[in-house]
Structure 1
């Protein structure tokens, strides 16, 4: 899974590179930067920053990690929030991309970063998450790496109030309604007290250089693979019912010789039918190249449920075809599982952006796709 979202402290992360928020003068202050600096050695880290001299807003610099258990520390200078009309979104998008690229150029393959420019810089956390995930997505589209977005708490997750309200309502309808308890009360409580960034505000403040969210596939991408859906469905004929055929006894060998198309075979067929490349699919699925190679090499590959669901979104399947593909892997979507209900919400609403799906899963303390 190239993009991981975790609830932790950046000082606890063990990756090749850790990214910390910094100011233009590279003076170590409070917050995440100070927590990492205390482990690295405050004096030596500040001396390394002083030698560099400073860093412009939207840029990043690399220093040794000293006693911190990483290969390097990346100091990223985010913008001060001034209401959203002074290019803050573009500056934050640039800041994240510059930090990740600097780490990659220095040899890092695993990277961790917190929310940047929030806290004393005043950037709204919900908008910061939206921008940072898009910047990470753009970086991962060009580079092979693993990136951890580290959030201090789940209440930090703000992907747009309208979407999360709709998800909460959907869970109430199909999950809480069937099981008789208020599973979303805690989410509503912190939603009302912390305050979401409205989706319209986020769209207006999206950095101009950010890739658009994958809310829906392009026309070619969403085209059905064949008439009648993923698996051809027989038409019902009016009139008298057809006689029930007599089933001849079959040996086990005969039955095994008549197996349906496997999950892996179906995925590869859909990739070909939709004119996609392997790289497009595994990046859209938030999968590593190594994991996808197993599907390509093994017709009998059995995925985990989260991997199977990730491929459903990467292929742009509708709800019916998603259910059919999951069945090929031996899975179903159940209203007794909050994970399944959240996945179903995005399918029935034709939203195929796996980063949005994972943001919702994280907010509800569910495993992420990929």
Structure 2
């Protein structure tokens, strides 16, 4: 199941549960915590939390969502950042995500949205908090099926690793590209120039089609010695979506899903271009999305979460889905 970054007000997300960056007393606080209490209904949420408090740092409990679109609220108490105790802070923050996710799994929830825990008044550096959140969530998703979102109210709240953005910016500066809308639909038939349309011997061409996309994908999976599960999890793709891709029957996924599969399979640039071509797509030097993904493939860096961090930073579609 995918891990996705979204720019949304977490109190308006229609998921099975949203996570509250709570204090150990489960009191209504400021920031995300206050917003969740207010949107849920302060009186009902306060009463529900009083029955479950206090909790320890790193622990999580669950209440009803009350007036929220989300069915439940998981209250998770993150640590106050201690610069002199970095290892302890990191351990507790990781445990906070693990506790919340374990609780969601225990209640068989299918979708959960997190804020960036401890990155507000608790002082955790945003880039470090993001790195730990992604690690904890991704580790959990290796063994579980769940849609997990990291919700950011605005772009300023999202701070990826500085070196990732710097290196990509330098790469993009080396070549010229224009920022144009990212369109993922294959070229419509009416847009094909007349000179390129099929000649009279149409039956010959129809009976000598190239390898279909889904067959090419399955061949690559076998060639790489990987299992379907390994591929769709590494590709940040939902199991049901992967099953639809695998079956074929004329279905062609969108470009971000195809490139996610290319990243999961650790294809080189030629192999990635060939896989795109099987679906009627190609890399474009005029599209920021394409240039960013191409950069990571050329560099042999196949961490899909790092790629998505950079794509999210530049307001581009994410890989997977």
TM-score, normalised to structure 1, is 0.78
Alignment partner, residue 118 of structure 1: 119
Give how far 1:158 is off.
2.6
Give, in angstroms, the shift of residue 299 of structure 1: 5.8
Find out whether 1:20 has 2:20 as its counterpart: yes
Q: What is aligned with 2:9?
A: 9
How far apart, CA to CA, are the structure 2 residues paired with 1:95 and 1:252?
61
Q: Is the 8 A contact 1:76 1:95 kept in 2?
A: yes
Q: Does 1:270 align with 2:220?
A: yes
* 1:169 counterpart residue number: 170
Q: How does 1:80-91 map to 2 (within 5 A)?
A: 80-83=80-83, 84-91=85-92
Post-superposition Cα deviations, 1:80-107, rounded to whole Å, max 9, x if no partner, equal 1011524111211111121122122223
Q: Summarize deviations over 1:221-262 as a string: whole Å, max 9, x none.
A: xxxxxxxxxxxxxxxxxxxxxxxxxxxx98322222222212
Distance 2:116 2:303 in 1: 21
Structure 1 residue 51: Cα displacement: 1.1
Distance in 2 (CA, whole Å) between partners of 1:107 and 1:273 is 35
Q: Does 1:337 align with 2:287?
A: yes
Tell me how far 1:69 sits from its aligned partner.
2.3
Equivalent residue for 2:196? none
Distance across 1 between alignment mates of 2:266 and 2:249: 21
Aligned ranges for residues 211-250 of structure 1 at < 5 Å? Answer: none
3-state SS of paired residue (1:66) = coil
Consecutive unaligned residues of structure 1, counting only runs of 5 or more, are 182-248
Q: CA deviation at 1:53?
A: 2.2
Instruction: State the shift of 1:150 in Å.
Output: 0.2
Partner of 2:130: 129
Change (3 A) 1:311 1:86: closer
Residue-by-residue CA offset, 1:171-213 (whole Å, 9 max, x unaligned):
2222xx355x9xxxxxxxxxxxxxxxxxxxxxxxxxxxxxxxx
Offset from partner CA, 1:86-135 (integer Å, 9 cap, x none): 41112111111211221222232111111000111000111111111111
Match of 1:364 in 2: 314
CA distance in 2, matches of 1:284, 1:147: 15
Question: How many residue pairs were aligned?
Answer: 300
Q: Distance in 2 between matches of 1:296 and 1:339?
A: 25
Between structure 1 and structure 2, the one with the greater Rg is 1
CA-to-aligned-CA distance 1:154-184 (integer Å, 9 cap, x gap):
233333211110111112222xx355x9xxx
Whether the aligned pair in 1 keeps the contact of 2:235 and 2:304 (CA below 8 Å) is yes
- Give matches, 1:189-228, under 5 Å: none
